Structure 1
Amino acid sequence: MLKLKRERMATTTMNANALLVAITLALLTCSTRCIYSAERRLLVSMTLVRNAPALGAFCLDGSLPAYHLHRGFGAGARNWLLQFEGGGWCNDIESCLERAKSRRGSTRYMTKWEVFSGILSNNASLNPDFYNWNRVKLRYCDGASFAGDAVFKNGTSLLYFRGQKIWEAIILDLLPKGLGQARKALLSGCSAGGLASFLHCNNFTKYLPSNASVKCLSDAGFFLDERDITLNHTMRYFVKDVVSLQGVGKNLDENCTASSLDFPELCFFPQYALKFITTPFFILNSAYDVYQFHHILVPSSADPHGHWNRCKLNPAACNPEQLNTLQEFRRDMIVAMGLFYKYSRRGGLFINSCFAHCQSESQDTWFSADSPRVHNKTIAEAVGDWYFSRRITKEIDCPYPCDTTCHNLIPSTQALVQDLRSH
């Protein structure tokens, strides 16, 4: 009996040791990513802008606009980071009516709590330069990058294209909460929100003290005016419809539209608006941005038989001709940024070669042990160095597939199929 007990104890000890070894190996294998995933998530509640109706500021369906604010502390108590939410656009009544019934067009359908991570994190080890700032996420519910000003009604349907008013209403709501006394401020955004950063950068400075340090950042918002693979201007015509439908034209930069009299809607594209932005600006973008790859370069209308589907899902499956097309797209993007790269003294760049879209709000891509790097610098380090003028930051990656640090965030097969159906 005693011998049996000893054998059981030995077996239990061996099992415990084996489990400990397995856990240790698992932690070593997943490195810091598991630690980050185990981090307590920062959930921030929604604030509705109650005074918005006085300004005529409504989401597409007439609901109140909203934002999420997490207060800064310590040395960052008077610094502000505003992040425009992304989420595409709608360019006709049908798509806007559909959008109005979703979280993209109504605060009624939005999550009332948002996870703040990456550039919005309040953890110094995960967001070293902005963790203690006041951080705000502006919810997106208008469908024109916070830039429209029109109303549609036909007796049965009513749509508010009030993005510009939403922007103004949120700013006016934040000014008495401390934004009006900001010492440092950064206006940022992702995707359609990154485009909004281009559109509102100059205007943002007008609300803040003259001695404040104000700068702007666009993440995945440098949408190109590029022909698709069939040489059609698919994106240009789409943008023209958005600008016309939602009354965006009057809110585009006047100097830009005056220089583009024949096609003022082109000033919706960052490559044309950029030279008129006087506030220091940072462009964070992938040279192979997956949204632009799938909807500007190879929209479903240009590839009805799906010859590009395998390439879209996996860059390694692209044939030589397809890869050459992608390299030409990268080249066009860098050329479009050429004057900014060469002559902007206060501008910053981080153009990597990852197949991704939006990299500042995800902890993995913003700042972690295995984050994407260009010249051994993470995105968070590059943005921080630029904002605080620690060093010049204009990083452009080598062409795909040279970068081994990339997190290639390709949509799943199911997501791609749904994506193709909706466009």
Structure 2
Amino acid sequence: MNSVVAYSLILLTCAPSCIYSEERLLVNMTLVRNASVHGAYCLDGSLPAYHLHRGFGAGARNWLLQFEGGGWCNDIESCLERAKTRRGSTRYMNKMEVFSGILSNNPSLNPDIYNWNRVKIRYCDGASFAGNAKFDNGTSLLYFRGQRIWQAIILDLLPKGLGRARKALLSGCSAGGLASFLHCDNFTSYLPKNASVKCLSDAGFFLDIRDTSLNHTIRSFYEALISLQGIEQNLDKNCTSSRYFPKQCFFPQYALMYIRTPFFILNSAYDVYQFHHILVPPTADLHGHWNPCKLNAAACNTNQINILQGFRKDMLAALSLFYRYSRRGGMFINSCFAHCQSESQDTWFGVDSPRVHNKTIAEAVGDWYFGRRVTKEIDCAFPCDSTCHNLIGG
């Protein structure tokens, strides 16, 4: 009897994470067999893929599509390297994926979306599913076909029920979160006119800012990416025709005002990836003065904290018009040192999940999607939020 009591206590003290770990949902990969008809290939020429877990009950005609993230490659050398990894080829990917957080099928872990059809779209093009080009010098061949991969996957899913969707949410994390901005309205165009279609970006609001050396590191990186992979033709035409630099329309802060579909922005105001690669890239910190701060926010000196608070102000300024004037938009901008919070169970919805105004991310997204209440949550500045996990390491 004592052992039963002890086991019950263990379950109580670590729920829901223990229950979750015992019920890991593994979902098989589906290769898009007719992708070649559309010229849709991963960097190395392999077929693109996704993972689909079927919805049931009241959610049987609702769909969540989640873009996988994983950075970008903006020159031939880095793309050739990427083509030999799971980021550039389905040959090297796990054939089974764990579905957790927003992808979970457990109502206690994903209360609003658990019974929807849930799709994870694998990322193998290195350009947020936006390129349309090819490199062939006779010895090396690379396919920059992200736009075609996106279209081929949608066309594969439409006859599987997506074409009859009542509710749909296009989501994504990191480079996949950026893809949500780039493909949101296009997604809507494939679905029934009477469907409720919305989009969500998790950690995809990459800022067009100067780094600590006052260089436009990320803008230069993206410009090379856009040129290499033939992206400009696929950017929002209303944006590219109205802005002085069309390539800036790859940045969410410029593209956002042209998106007609209701949009939700989930981001940390101290996004770890942006902190490490955009605000303080290695080229701006040759002597490693920022390394202790990058590993642990408690090790940041006063000047470094001030720079990080400046980054937060820049993000909120870039979001200010959306915050004030978007009637159908939603936001959850917390002050955790994190990157991607929707696919991880402990940050999406759990006993100790991050909260803003006592609301978890899952509750905020659900309130917004279903119109239960206006959801535009902005956290107080670091270090005020005691619910943060501060997942340094992006």
Tell me the TM-score range normalised by the shorter chain.
over 0.9
Match of 2:16 in 1: 32
Confirm whether residue 119 of structure 1 aligns to residue 99 of structure 2.
no
Match of 2:292 in 1: 310
1:33-75 deviation per Cα after TM superposition (whole angstroms, max 9, x unaligned): 333333x111000000011001100000000000000000111
Which residue of 255, 271, 282 corresponds with 1:289? 271
Query: After superposition, where does 1:42-191 map in structure 2 within 5 Å?
Result: 42-191=25-174
Distance in 2 (CA, whole Å) between partners of 1:318 and 1:312 is 8
1:254-293 deviation per Cα after TM superposition (whole angstroms, max 9, x unaligned): 11111124x2111000000000000000000000000000
Which residue of 258, 266, 272 corresponds with 1:276? 258
* SS of equivalent to 1:63: coil
State the shift of 1:410 in Å: 1.1
Match of 2:385 in 1: 403
Distance in 1 (CA, whole Å) between partners of 2:4 and 2:200 is 45
Query: After superposition, where does 1:193-232 map in structure 2 within 5 Å?
Result: 193-232=176-215
* SS of equivalent to 2:16: helix
Query: After superposition, where does 1:322-341 map in structure 2 within 5 Å?
Result: 322-341=304-323
Distance in 2 (CA, whole Å) between partners of 1:36 and 1:43 is 12
1:278-326 deviation per Cα after TM superposition (whole angstroms, max 9, x unaligned): 0000000000000000000000000011000000000000000000000
State the shift of 1:28 in Å: 5.2
State the shift of 1:26 in Å: 4.7
* SS of equivalent to 1:224: coil
Distance in 2 (CA, whole Å) between partners of 1:144 and 1:96 is 10
Which sections of structure 2, spanning at least 5 residues, go unmatched? none
Distance in 2 (CA, whole Å) between partners of 1:393 and 1:251 is 31
Confirm whether residue 257 of structure 1 aligns to residue 258 of structure 2.
no
Which sections of structure 1, spanning at least 5 residues, go unmatched? 1-15, 417-423
Which residue of 342, 361, 368 corresponds with 1:360? 342
Distance in 1 (CA, whole Å) between partners of 2:8 and 2:107 is 26
User: Aligned AA for 2:228?
Assistant: L
- Retained in 1: the 8 A contact 2:16–2:109? no
1:358-408 deviation per Cα after TM superposition (whole angstroms, max 9, x unaligned): 000000000011100000000000000000000000000000000000111
Distance in 2 (CA, whole Å) between partners of 1:356 and 1:67 is 26
Change in Cα spacing, 1:42 to 1:20, as seen in structure 2 (3 Å) is closer
* SS of equivalent to 2:222: helix
State the shift of 1:30 in Å: 3.5
Match of 2:333 in 1: 351
Match of 1:392 in 2: 374
Query: After superposition, where does 1:224-243 map in structure 2 within 5 Å?
Result: 224-243=207-226
Deviates further, 344-353 or 24-33: 24-33
State the shift of 1:165 in Å: 0.2
1:231-263 deviation per Cα after TM superposition (whole angstroms, max 9, x unaligned): 1000000000000000000000011111124x2
User: Aligned AA for 2:289?
Assistant: H
* SS of equivalent to 1:132: coil
Distance in 1 (CA, whole Å) between partners of 2:9 and 2:147 is 52
- Retained in 1: the 8 A contact 2:262–2:328? yes
State the shift of 1:22 in Å: 6.3
State the shift of 1:31 in Å: 4.7
Confirm whether residue 370 of structure 1 aligns to residue 352 of structure 2.
yes
State the shift of 1:109 in Å: 0.3
Distance in 2 (CA, whole Å) between partners of 1:341 and 1:79 is 28
* SS of equivalent to 1:357: coil
1:66-114 deviation per Cα after TM superposition (whole angstroms, max 9, x unaligned): 0000000111100000000000000000000000000000000000000
State the shift of 1:32 in Å: 3.4
Distance in 2 (CA, whole Å) between partners of 1:41 and 1:21 is 25
State the shift of 1:21 in Å: 7.4
User: Aligned AA for 2:291?
Assistant: N
Change in Cα spacing, 1:266 to 1:140, as seen in structure 2 (3 Å) is same
Q: TM-score, normalised by structure 1?
A: 0.91
Structure whose alpha-carbon radius of gyration is higher: 1
User: Aligned AA for 2:306?
Assistant: N
Distance in 1 (CA, whole Å) between partners of 2:178 and 2:199 is 11
Match of 1:5 in 2: none
* SS of equivalent to 1:146: coil
* Matched positions, count: 394
